[in-house]
Structure 1
């Protein structure tokens, strides 16, 4: 069985550097065996891949890809906190925020981009409870933001 880090490579992905906070918060907070990540936006090497509302300027498919990037950024923050991703025993909860046009109702499909990646990286331990929430706007006009709670051993 390969490690989560090996699965990331097998997926053709590279674990990015932790996205530095853009306001007054820290990337992760740990209490006991739980690690909470701050909301992660879809930054790749400091650049945004898309901006705007899903269902207007951004397609649902593009937003789903952006949610995957958010999840990868959350995994990077998690790794920075715990050292090795094999210490993650469970992704407990994911919350995805989708900046939505007034008539867009596909938030769960968009957030599947994050959920699917977490399952691919962590296997059964990546299956989680989740909320997918439509919002009027997100920081820097991004279409999606993802946060997670992980249990570590």
Structure 2
């Protein structure tokens, strides 16, 4: 086994690099990033959410989500409106542009997922996603006897 194959961080970074290049080619034309797609997807499901709710659903910290929302608002995908129940809060809503992008951007994500996972069967894909979710959530069980 090569030295780089023993480093999970290196392997994940190389995989992310490939997926990032593919996603850039899919979404760049529409002026959207994969993270912004995730925010749009949450709003397509339930429009009118607090930025903090979006951040919680997507596991993005408040400072980062605020910057992403600012850019998406400048680009006309979303708009902020005062919460009628608490004027201190701003709810995030889709604009017409954001709503109109649902079909095409969802199709681009389907294409991206297919390209990335085409060499894996259904069971391998399911396990891969489960492992990524476990790593990404920080819920990995600590096992002192486990080694690479």
Category of TM-score, reference length = shorter chain: under 0.3
Q: Going by fraction, where is strand more abundant, 1 or 2?
A: 1
Q: TM-score, normalised by structure 2?
A: 0.25
**TM-score, normalisation: structure 1:** 0.25
Work out which of the two has the higher radius of gyration on C-alpha atoms and give 1 or 2: 2
